[in-house]
Amino acid sequence: MRFAFTEQQLELRGAVRQVLARECTVADLRAMALGDRHGGAGRTHERWSVLAELGATGLLVPQAHGGLGLGELELVGVLEEAGWAGLPEPLLESAGLAAPLMAAADAASNGGAGSVLGRFLEKVAAGEVVATVGGIDVTSAGLVTTTTPSPEVTQGTVVTPRVTGASVAGVALVALNLPGAGWQLHLVEADPDGVTTTPSIDPTRDLGTLEWSPWPHTLIASGERAEAMLSDLADRAALFSAAQLLGLTERMITMAADYAKERRQFGKPIGSFQAVKHHLANARVALEFARPTTYRAADSIARDLADRSAHASMAKAMASDAADLAARVALQVHGAIGYTWECDLQLWMKRAWVLSAAWGDAPTHRSRVLSHAMAAAAER
């Protein structure tokens, strides 16, 4: 089989790079990092509408709901560019996770264009509403809910911590796991009073805790169907985080390599010393090994192959490792300046740390790969 991106996929990616080079500059990121301390959201709304005009927000949304109806392979390229540019907005969560989840729930409920989900989906595709997901995390033992307390009855307030994009999202798909009743997935509309901002190590990350009430009308899936949808979500989360990590890693290596050519010691650029070169080469090797596993996972999920979960976990494990290594190497190559706020490296490094740990870190995903391999062996 031909395993390369099509010309069109490369062009879409190129368009994102061109747009973000102008709309998401280092100066923008710095303003946002400082602004967050003062409660501002930077140019988030402006940037989001440019992404919507481009078509990125509705990339996975079916055409019937105003989206482009494209697949995971296209979004992977877009998210790599988002990583490269350090895009702070929750494109991964909105376009990559919430949108396909809403589309699946809508299709299962036979909603059609007039349904509540369908209407939200159209707004998400058009960029009028940012969507996010919460209440779920990936562990080596399986999916766990972060929503507490699990209420005995569906009425009552529950708390869902660490929701990305909490303050800009107009709608959130939130999971909870009720003792005895199993998984539930709720569609929660934004309530500014119900959001408490959580500080993140990455100052441009919009993180918050949601306080909300589950009601019968917010429930969009439950039981086995909810579980299947959340397992699907976990695969995508691993895949798309991996894609964004590839872009972050590429940027950190580029920054470090550029610095190594510029910074002189003993009368020569430090990049001419083997001890520096080898570090950078190791990071590059880790990145280039992670890349094809991410592309394979995208292909497996797009075609819904049986191995899709194993492939997604492999991608996330390798991309997280590559990002962690690149962050460490880039920091070391930069020397003391790398630790400072003034050095741009920090913007990408902190993002990489956060994303490498999100949706299951490398050891978690390695153990998931192992479980899949053992299960496959047992079947033989």
Partner 1 sequence: MAMNVVVCVKQIPDPAAPASLDPVTHTLERSGKLILDDSDAYGVEMALQLAPTDAGNEVTLVSMAPNGETSGLRTALAMGATKAILISDPALAGSDALSTAKVLAAAIKRVEPDLVLAATESTDGYTGTLPVQVAELLGLPSVTFAKSVSVDGASVKVERQTEAGYDEVTSPLPVVVTVTAGVVEPRYPSFKGIMAAKSKPVDVLSIADLGIDAGQVGAAGARQEITDVSEAESRSSGEIVVDEGDGAARIVSFLEQIKVV
Alpha carbon of residue 149 to chain centroid:
26
Residue 141 DSSP SS3: coil
Complex with partner 1: residue 257 or 286, whichever CB lies closer: 257
* Residue 70 within binding range of partner 1, rule CB under 8 A: yes
Closest CA to 135 of 103, 173, 165, 169: 173
* Shortest CB 123 distance to partner 1, Å: 18
Of residues 10 through 49, those in contact with partner 1 by CB under 8 A are 11-12, 15, 18-19
Complex with partner 1: residue 19 or 98, whichever CB lies closer: 19
* Shortest CB 85 distance to partner 1, Å: 14
Of residues 333 through 372, those in contact with partner 1 by CB under 8 A are none
* Shortest CB 364 distance to partner 1, Å: 33
Complex with partner 1: residue 49 or 213, whichever CB lies closer: 49
* Shortest CB 378 distance to partner 1, Å: 43
* Residue 92 within binding range of partner 1, rule CB under 8 A: no
Which of 24, 29, 32, 56 touches partner 1 (CB under 8 A)?
A: 56
Complex with partner 1: residue 21 or 141, whichever CB lies closer: 21
Residue with the two structure tokens 């797009």: 302
* Shortest CB 77 distance to partner 1, Å: 11
Strand-pairing partners, residue 195, are 210
Long-range (24+ apart) CB contacts under 8 A made by 155-160 are: 155/213, 155/214, 155/215, 156/213, 156/214, 157/211, 157/212, 157/213, 158/211, 158/212, 158/213, 158/214, 159/209, 159/210, 159/211, 160/134, 160/135, 160/209, 160/210, 160/211, 160/212
Which of 34, 50, 116, 219 touches partner 1 (CB under 8 A)?
A: 50
Alpha-carbon distance of 18 to 360, in angstroms, equals 31
Stretch of 8-16, 283-291, 312-320, 354-362 lying at the interface with partner 1 (CB under 8 A): 8-16
* Residue 59 within binding range of partner 1, rule CB under 8 A: yes
Strand-pairing partners, residue 132, are 172
Residue 109 DSSP SS3: coil
Residue with the two structure tokens 């709720």: 186
Judge whether 148 and 159 are in contact, CB under 8 Å.
yes
Residues forming contacts to partner 1 in the complex (CB under 8 A) are: 8, 11-12, 15, 18-19, 50, 53-56, 59, 68, 70
